[in-house]
Every structure is written in structure tokens, then in C-alpha cells.
């Protein structure tokens, strides 16, 4: 018994008992009441929090209002304390069960004492926490205005994430000295959306170092006072008195407010008029940025943009994603609809504005028939599709309307005569414009530049392209907006028959090019028709009366109709004709009646190989075209040389042809084929003709009287071709540079061991060599060094610095192109075949750097090719494509 008492009264036990006896018995005998009181205080705390939270949330519904940090931290402490109270209450039943003697004692005195103390402490903390909440004031506060104010964005940024990142880096990179940044692109491509995303990125990304971001819309007719007002609102000038200040006073205030700040000014939709930032009061100091959008590439130059980004249309995958997002389609209703929807999306040609408009219009369409009908409508006449005219074409038309004169507008509309996705040669387009009389006060190259800078045409080397949606806009304008214009365009759509006569009536321009039309309507009556484009068809015959009711026709293109063998005499009715293109037809002669075409300015007979002595070009016919400016006769009659019949200008020595051409006072460009030494000698008798020659083809010369100095004097020569000739005596030791020459062809030429004189052709783009078995190298190092000593003008030429294409075939003795590797900065393609001794190309790992070139050849030749080093082989191994036999 004494042992039990001794154990019960151990030191650890005596200490709480003494405290218990000392007045803390309430922790045990008052436990139940304390637990009830704790629950009550918890509920009061929760009620207080809810009252405060309701007040805060109501205030936060007002703009730029938020709860204070104190109240937010108090809410968080309340949540934690409530959780702790609930955990204590979970132990309530267990601790109450331990009480005995009517609640004045405990079966486990230590545990009950400890628990009771925790309850008492928690109750006091809850009471104090509630008092702390009552003392918080204020509960909410006005939010300081951030660097940017968020702007609602109408559409997603599908496909533009990459350019957004690049623009953002350009803005925020403090090491880049790019103060003015331009975003340009055609209408509807998403420039405004992108700029809004830039603005909103300042709201979500706090890592930037700018104090204020300012947004203003400039628009077509800029209101400078409104731009100042937009700026003033963001920097604190919004009073009525400030708005009543003069433009100059406002500018001074803006300058003083911004000159010590790092700011970003976002200007949306600048047109061609330059915005004078300094005049507005914008200080252009280091660290601040100006970002603007425009439809015109040229505006980037006017605004002196340090960096410009083109915002282009979307690729197929991104376009499909945006189309689906716009329509919210469910493809479960019919298995065909997904593929039909993809076809529909492709008709929008990657233009975000069109994808959204069409996608929204097609939302909810559940029957395949609805989709097929919609595809038919949009593909034949985009303006007839729901909302396309109002939402898309009319907005694109702003760029058309902004062109400074009618000449530019007419030249743009002319481009829609070509098929979708056509690569339109720049020179061909200019010739058409000139023939149509569209360039009275402006040059063709100036027009091209203006249309490219306006993002209405896309530039691609020697050609331009018209985006399909811009083409749809142009067709809509020509047929429904402009009263003086009416086009009938069925280009490249697979027609086998020409449109019915009724469709031709009242039309100004007709394009039926690139079809399979075999015959034409009998007698079209088109008094207004000025353009008729029929190239690339299967036309076999034209009736005598076809041209009799086309008095205004200026342009007629019948080229590449390989079945067309003769022209009707009735073509003489076309007394207004300026432009006649018969190239690459089987026409065997020209009728004498063509002399009636007294207004002809352009005649193209290139590759009319069937011109022969039986169906000839009569003498005095060419010379009768007194207004002729361009005459092309490359490979004209070449299938029937020699031709020496009396009364035919295509005689063997070309003397009569040269005399007739020489009589044409307004002629400024010719392309000719000459045969034999006599033909070349007769050509050289007329220096005037040499000065206007653009293309020259020579065949069957046993001794070439032409030397490189002659070529250098031909200021406009771009193409030079020599076939079946002996070049042994050709003098190339002393010559000037042939600056304009772009293309060279050598076919079946004997006694030519090298072409070292090509060092004098600095702008050469194409070099093609076929069947020249005597050739051993293209550039001889020995001769190259000798020529360098002779010619001081050469300096240090970079060989083939502009070369894009190199093709060599059947040169059995060719050992090398050049001894050393060359840079080839513009090379795109090499083709080598039947050159067994050519074991090495003039390439190293730095050649064609940054360019993806293609090398064609036989697989066996490629496998035996020797390389400068392993790095070179590694660089060019992926470039090889074997010739398919």
C-alpha cells in the first residue's frame, strides 16, 4: 500500500496537484462550461468574419478597389484558428468521460488538466482575435493604377505566340536599343489583337521595368488631340481645364510628365500619314518604347522604326485551330462534317478575320449539305457568303481606298485576273499595265513598290503574289463596287468550254487563262472589252468573225495554246490592240492583214518554232508597227532554219529582219534568235539594236564574230544562249563587265575548254551547260589570274556571288568547276549529270551558309565525290537528291 501511495505522490504528480489546489481547479471542474464557451466565441468570430468579408467583397466590385493586406491576413488567421478549435472540439467527448466526482475530479488528472488549460488558452485567443478584427480600419483601399490597363481581346492569339514573344523580348530587353517597333501586315491578319496582347502582358508580367503603358488608336484620319487626350488620361491629365488647353500646351505638359519616366506607347492602326511623336509631346529618350501597328510596310520607314515585324497570315494547322475555336464545332452529328469543315477553313486562306467570321457563321450547321453549299458559295464568290462583305471584304477595302491615286487602284485590280496563288512575274505585270495605259504618271516599278509596301501584294524575288483574300476583295470591288470596272475571271478552274456569250456582255476585262478550253464563242459583242487573257488553253481554231465586235480590245494573250496553228484574218479588226502575245503556239505565219494593227506596242513571238517558209512573216509587216516598243522573237521559226524564201523576214542571214527592226523608232526592247555567222554579223551592223537587246540566242556558228566586249556594250542583255557553235576563236582577253546578264546557256558547244570570262559577269544567277564535251573546267585559275592582271576594274571579284542555279550535263571531260571552295551566298540548286571526271565540288563547310540548297546527281557519282573535309561532307550530305531515271 505504501508503495502505491509513494508512486502516486511522485514529483511529477505533486506539481500539478499543487497548482490544482492553488486555484487552477477550474481547468478540470469548469471544462464542460469552457468548451461550450469556446464554441460560442468561435461562432461569434465566424460571424464577425462573415460581416467583414461581405463588406469587403461589396467594395471590391468597384473598379480599382481591393481589401487591405491587414484584413486579408486577419481572414487567414481566423480560418486557421477556427480549424484549431474544431480539432479541440473533436476531443470533447473523450475528455468529458474522464471526469468523475460530479466533474470535480478526473480519472487522469494530468491529461484533464493539460486539456483544460489548452481550452482556456484557445478561448482567450479567439476572443482577442475577434477584438483584433474589430480594430482593423480600413477594410479596403483604392488600388494604385498599374503600368497598364487591361484591354478586352476579341479573339484568341492562335498562331501568333512566337511573334508575341519576339516583340515582348524586343520591348523588355534593356540591352537592345530598339526604341521604335513597327508591326505591319495586311488588314485582318491580327495586328490589333497582337498589340492588345502586348498591352495585357504588362498587366500579368510584373518583371518589366516600365512605369506606365499608354494605349491609343490612331486610325485612318488621325485625331492628334484625341491621341494627346489618351496619353493625358494615363499620366494624370484628365481635368476639364487640361482638356481645354491648346495642342502645344498639352504637348509641353506631356513632355514634362514623361521625360523622366520609362514608358511604353502603343499606337494602333497608323496609316500612311506619319505621326510626329515629338510634336505630340512624346520624348524619345533611352529606355522608353513606341510600338505601333500599320497596314503599310512603308509606314515603318516613315516612323523610323528601329525594328519591324511582319504579322502574316496563319499556317494550315493554326488556321484550323482558330476556325474550330470560332465556331465551337461538334463533329459528332455526321462523319463527313469534319473534312468539310477543313475544306471550309482552307477557303479563308489563313486570314484570322475571315476564319473567325466564317467559323461563327457556320456554328450550329449539322448537315453536310449545308457545308457543301457554303463551300460552293465562298469558293465562287466570297462576297456572297454570310457577313463576308460586311466584316471582311469591307475592312480589307480600307487598304484599297487608302491608295493615293486611281492608277494604283486599277493596277491592283488587274492582279486578280491571274489564278489563285499565282506567282506573277514582275516584268510581265508591268508590261500589261503599260499596254493597258494604266501608268500615265507613275512608273511600273514604283507601282509594284507601293502595292508591296501597302501589304496588298507579297514580294518573292522576280515575282509577286496576291493573297487569295485580297484577290477576293479585288474581284468584289471590280464586279460590285466600281461602276467602270467589270471582270469575268475564270482563271485556272478547269474549264473545258468558254463561258456563254451572255456572260461576256458589258465586261471590261476577261481572264480565262490556265484552263482546257478548245473553242471560243462564235461572235462576242463586247464594245467595252479591253483585256482578253486566253493563255495556257487548248484552243485549236479561232473563227474569222470572232474579233469583229471587240473594237476596244487592247491586250490579247493567246500564248501557250499548243494546238493553235493560224490566226484568222479577222484579227485585223482589233485596231485598238496594244499587246499581242502568240508565244509558245504552233502558229506558222502572220497574215498580211495584221498591218491594220497600227497601235501595236508589244508583240511576242517567242518560241513560235513552226514559223516557216510556207507560212511566213511577210516583209514590211514588222516595220508597219510604227508604235512598237517591245518585240520578242526568241526561237521564232527555229524548227525550220535555214529559211531563205523571198518575201520572208525570217531569212537565214536575218538581214531583212534587222533592217525592219531598225526602222522602228519607238522600239526599246528586243529578244532575238540568230543563226550562223552571217546572221550575227548582220546584227552587229546595227548598234542601236545591240543597245536594246534583252535576250540573244545564237545557233550554228562555226566562227563566232561576237566577243565579250560586244556583250558588255549590250546594256540591257539579261539572257545569252549559244547552241551548236564552235567557240574556239572567241576573244575574251579584254572586256568590260556584263552587268545586267542574269542567265547563260551553253548547249552543244565545241572547242571550249573553260568559261573563265564569267568573272566579268558579276550578277549571273543561272548557268546551264549541256553537251559540252571539250570543257575541262569552268573557271581556270591560271586564266583567272591573267585576266586579273589585264583588267584593273576587276578588283577582287567574288566568283558566282549571285549564282542561284548551276546545271551541268554531259560534260565528259569536265574535271572541276573551280580549284578552291567558294561562298555561294545565294545558291539554291546544283544539278550534275554525266560528268564522270568531276570528283569535287567547290564547297566547304562555310559555302551557302544559312541556306538550304539541293544537289541533284546520279547516286554513283555522289558516292564517289571527294570533300574538302568531314565537316563539309556532313553539311551537304542532307542536300542530295538522286536523279530519277
What per-residue confidence (pLDDT) applies to 7? 37
pLDDT at 643 > cutoff 50: no
Least confident among 105-114, 247-256, 447-456: 105-114
Give the dihedral of Cα atoms 31, 35, 37, 43; nearest 10 deg: 170
Q: What is the pLDDT of residues 103-139, one digit of tens each?
A: 556 565 666 677 777 778 888 888 988 888 888 888 8
Q: What is the sign, positive or negative, of the torsion defined by CA atoms of 20, 21, 26, 32?
A: positive
| pLDDT band at 721; cut points 50, 70, 90 | very high
pLDDT of residue 108: 58
- In angstroms, the CA 748 to CA 723 distance is 6
pLDDT tier at 848, thresholds 50, 70, 90 = confident
Q: Are strands 105-106 and 263-270 parallel, antiparallel or unpaired?
A: unpaired
pLDDT in tens, 745-763: 999 999 999 998 898 899 9
The CA distance from 542 to 599, in Å, is: 22
The confidence score (pLDDT) of residue 204 equals 77
Contact 526, 550 (CB under 8 A): yes
- Say which DSSP state 800 is in: T
CB 581 within 8 A of CB 611: no
pLDDT digit string (tens) for 778-804? 998 888 877 655 445 444 557 899 999
| Averaged pLDDT for residues 52-66 | 77
**What's the rounded Cα separation, in Å, for the pair 837 and 563?**
43
Query: What is the number of alpha carbons within 13 Å of residue 654 lying toward its C-beta?
Result: 26
Q: What is the pLDDT of residue 116?
A: 74
Q: Categorize the per-residue pLDDT at 144 as very low, low, confident or very high, splitting at 50, 70 and 90.
A: low
C-alpha cell at 428: 510581265
pLDDT of 8 strictly over 50 = no
Exposed e or buried b for every residue in 45-67, given b needs 16+ CB within 10 A? Answer: bbebbeebeeebeebeeeeeeeb
Quote the percentage of the chain above a pLDDT of 70. Answer: 87
CA 777, 780, 781, 786: dihedral to nearest 10 degrees? 180
The answer to whether residues 193 and 326 touch, using CB atoms and an 8 Å cutoff, is no
Residue 79 has pLDDT above 70, yes or no: yes
Averaged pLDDT for residues 651-672: 88
pLDDT of residue 432: 96
What does the mean pLDDT of the chain come to?
A: 85
Grid coordinates standing for 670?
Answer: 528586243
d(CA 24, CA 42) in angstroms, rounded, equals 23
**Nearest 5°: CA angle at 638, between 637 and 641?**
90
For residues 568 and 544, the answer to whether their CB atoms sit within 8 Å is: yes
Check residue 695 and give its pLDDT.
95
pLDDT, position 10: 44
Place of cell 486539456: 115
Residue 787 has a pLDDT of 65
Over residues 579-597, mean pLDDT: 94
pLDDT value at residue 27: 65
What is the C-alpha to C-alpha distance for residues 502 and 683, in angstroms, rounded to an integer?
Answer: 50
C-alpha span between 350 and 312 (Å, rounded): 9
Measure the CA–CA gap between 514 and 494, rounded to whole angstroms: 8
pTM confidence score: 0.74
Torsion of the alpha carbons at 592, 595, 596 and 599, rounded to the nearest 10: 150
Confidence of residue 9 (pLDDT cuts 50, 70, 90): very low
Q: Under CATH, what is the fold of the domain 161-310?
A: Rossmann fold (3.40.50)
89-103, 303-317, 544-558: the lowest-pLDDT one: 89-103
Per-residue pLDDT tens digits for 612-629: 645 578 889 999 999 999
Has residue 236 got a pLDDT over 90? Answer: no
Examine the pLDDT at 413 and tell me if it is beyond 90: yes
> Residue 59 pLDDT more than 60?
yes
Which tens digit of pLDDT belongs to each residue from 418-437? 998 899 999 999 999 999 99
pLDDT over threshold 60, residue 885? no
Domain covering 316-380, topology:
Helicase, Ruva Protein; domain 3 (1.10.8)
- pLDDT band at 649, cuts 50/70/90? low
Q: Indicate the fold that domain 406-482 takes in CATH.
A: Arc Repressor Mutant, subunit A (1.10.10)
Q: What is the DSSP string of 247-308?
A: HHHHHHHHHHHHTTS-EEEEEEEE-SSPP-HHHHT----TT-EEEEEES-HHHHHHTT-SEE
Cα–Cα distance, 440 to 438 (Å, whole number): 6
Amino acid at each position: 500500500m505504501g508503495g502505491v501511495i509513494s508512486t502516486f505522490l511522485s514529483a511529477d504528480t505533486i506539481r500539478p496537484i499543487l497548482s490544482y489546489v492553488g486555484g487552477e481547479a477550474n481547468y478540470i471542474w469548469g471544462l464542460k462550461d469552457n468548451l461550450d464557451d469556446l464554441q460560442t466565441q468561435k461562432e461569434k468570430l465566424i460571424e464577425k468574419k462573415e460581416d467583414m468579408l461581405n463588406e469587403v467583397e461589396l467594395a471590391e466590385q468597384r473598379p480599382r478597389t481591393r481589401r487591405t493586406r491587414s484584413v486579408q491576413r486577419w481572414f487567414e488567421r481566423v480560418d486557421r484558428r477556427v480549424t484549431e478549435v474544431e480539432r479541440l472540439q473533436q476531443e470533447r467527448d473523450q475528455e468529458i468521460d474522464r471526469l468523475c466526482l460530479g466533474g470535480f475530479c478526473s480519472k487522469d488528472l494530468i491529461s484533464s488538466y493539460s486539456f483544460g488549460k489548452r481550452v482556456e488558452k484557445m478561448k482567450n485567443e479567439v476572443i482577442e482575435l475577434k477584438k483584433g478584427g474589430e480594430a482593423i480600419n480600413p477594410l479596403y483601399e483604392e488600388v494604385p493604377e498599374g503600368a497598364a490597363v487591361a484591354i478586352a481581346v476579341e479573339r484568341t492569339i492562335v498562331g501568333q505566340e512566337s511573334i508575341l514573344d519576339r516583340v515582348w523580348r524586343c520591348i523588355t530587353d534593356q540591352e537592345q536599343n530598339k526604341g521604335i517597333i513597327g508591326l505591319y501586315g495586311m488588314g485582318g491578319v491580327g495586328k490589333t489583337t497582337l498589340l492588345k496582347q502586348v498591352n495585357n502582358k504588362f498587366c500579368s508580367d510584373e518583371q518589366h521595368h516600365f512605369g506606365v503603358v499608354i494605349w491609343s488608336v490612331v486610325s485612318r484620319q488621325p485625331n492628334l488631340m484625341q491621341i494627346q487626350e489618351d496619353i493625358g488620361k494615363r499620366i494624370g491629365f484628365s481635368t476639364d481645364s487640361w482638356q481645354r488647353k491648346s495642342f502645344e500646351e498639352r504637348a509641353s505638359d506631356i513632355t514634362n510628365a514623361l521625360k523622366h519616366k520609362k514608358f511604353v506607347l502603343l499606337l494602333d492602326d497608323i496609316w500612311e500619314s506619319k505621326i510626329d511623336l515629338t510634336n505630340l509631346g512624346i520624348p524619345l529618350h533611352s529606355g522608353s518604347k513606341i510600338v505601333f501597328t500599320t497596314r503599310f510596310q512603308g509606314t515603318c520607314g516613315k516612323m523610323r522604326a528601329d525594328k519591324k515585324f511582319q504579322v502574316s497570315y496563319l499556317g494550315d494547322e493554326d488556321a484550323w485551330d482558330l476556325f474550330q475555336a470560332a465556331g465551337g464545332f461538334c463533329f459528332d452529328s455526321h462523319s463527313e462534317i469534319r473534312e468539310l469543315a477543313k475544306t471550309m477553313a482552307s477557303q479563308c486562306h489563313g486570314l484570322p478575320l475571315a476564319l473567325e467570321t466564317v467559323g461563327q457563321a457556320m456554328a450550329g450547321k449539322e448537315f453536310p449539305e449545308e457545308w457543301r453549299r457554303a463551300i460552293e458559295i465562298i469558293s465562287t464568290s466570297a462576297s456572297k457568303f454570310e457577313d463576308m462583305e460586311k466584316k471582311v471584304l469591307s475592312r480589307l477595302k480600307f487598304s484599297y481606298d487608302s491608295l493615293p491615286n486611281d492608277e494604283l487602284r486599277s493596277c491592283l485590280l488587274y492582279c486578280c485576273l491571274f489564278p489563285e496563288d499565282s506567282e506573277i512575274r514582275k516584268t510581265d505585270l508591268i508590261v500589261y499595265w503599260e499596254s493597258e495605259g494604266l501608268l500615265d504618271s507613275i512608273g511600273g516599278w514604283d507601282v509594284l513598290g507601293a502595292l508591296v509596301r501597302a501589304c496588298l501584294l507579297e514580294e518573292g524575288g522576280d515575282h509577286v503574289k496576291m493573297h487569295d483574300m485580297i484577290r477576293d476583295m479585288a474581284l468584289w470591288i471590280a464586279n460590285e463596287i466600281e461602276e467602270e470596272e467589270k471582270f469575268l475571271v475564270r482563271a485556272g478552274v478547269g474549264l473545258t468550254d468558254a463561258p456563254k456569250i451572255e456572260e461576256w456582255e458589258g465586261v471590261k476585262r476577261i481572264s480565262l487563262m490556265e484552263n482546257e478550253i478548245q473553242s471560243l464563242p462564235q461572235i462576242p459583242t463586247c464594245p467595252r472589252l479591253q483585256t482578253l487573257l486566253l493563255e495556257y488553253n487548248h484552243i485549236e481554231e479561232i473563227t474569222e468573225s470572232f474579233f469583229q465586235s471587240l473594237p476596244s480590245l487592247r491586250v490579247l494573250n493567246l500564248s501557250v495554246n499548243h494546238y493553235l496553228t493560224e490566226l484568222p484574218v479577222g484579227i485585223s479588226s482589233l485596231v485598238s490592240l496594244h499587246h499581242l502575245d502568240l508565244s509558245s503556239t504552233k502558229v506558222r505565219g502572220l497574215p498580211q492583214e495584221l498591218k491594220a494593227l497600227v497601235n501595236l506596242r508589244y508583240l511576242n513571238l517567242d518560241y513560235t518554232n513552226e514559223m516557216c517558209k510556207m507560212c511566213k512573216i511577210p516583209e514590211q509587216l514588222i516595220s508597219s508597227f510604227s508604235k512598237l516598243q517591245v518585240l520578242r522573237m526568241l526561237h521564232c521559226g527555229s524548227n525550220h532554219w535555214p529559211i531563205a524564201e523571198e518575201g520572208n523576214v525570217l531569212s537565214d542571214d536575218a538581214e531583212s529582219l534587222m533592217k525592219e527592226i531598225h526602222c522602228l523608232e519607238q522600239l526599246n526592247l528586243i529578244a532575238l534568235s540568230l543563226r550562223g555567222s552571217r546572221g550575227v554579223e548582220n546584227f552587229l551592223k546595227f548598234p542601236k539594236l545591240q543597245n536594246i537587246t534583252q535576250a540573244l540566242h545564237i545557233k550554228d556558228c562555226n566562227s563566232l564574230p561576237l566577243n565579250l566586249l560586244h556583250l558588255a556594250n549590250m546594256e540591257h542583255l539579261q539572257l545569252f544562249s549559244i547552241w551548236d557553235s564552235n567557240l574556239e576563236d572567241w576573244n575574251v582577253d579584254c572586256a568590260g563587265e556584263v552587268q545586267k546578264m542574269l542567265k547563260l546557256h551553253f548547249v552543244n558547244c565545241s572547242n571550249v575548254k573553260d568559261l573563265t570570262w564569267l568573272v566579268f559577269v558579276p550578277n549571273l544567277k543561272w548557268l546551264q551547260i549541256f553537251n559540252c564535251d571539250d570543257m575541262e573546267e569552268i573557271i581556270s585559275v591560271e586564266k583567272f589570274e591573267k585576266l586579273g592582271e589585264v583588267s584593273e576594274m576587276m578588283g577582287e571579284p567574288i566568283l558566282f556571288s549571285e549564282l542561284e542555279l548551276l546545271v551541268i550535263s554531259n560534260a565528259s571531260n569536265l574535271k572541276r568547276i573551280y580549284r578552291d571552295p567558294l561562298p555561294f551566298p545565294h545558291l539554291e540548286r546544283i544539278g550534275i549529270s554525266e560528268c564522270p571526271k568531276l570528283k569535287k565540288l567547290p564547297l566547304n563547310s562555310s559555302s551557302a551558309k544559312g541556306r538550304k540548297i539541293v544537289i541533284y546527281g546520279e547516286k554513283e557519282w555522289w558516292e564517289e565525290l571527294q570533300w574538302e573535309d568531314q565537316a563539309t561532307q556532313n553539311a551537304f550530305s542532307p542536300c542530295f537528291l538522286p536523279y530519277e531515271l
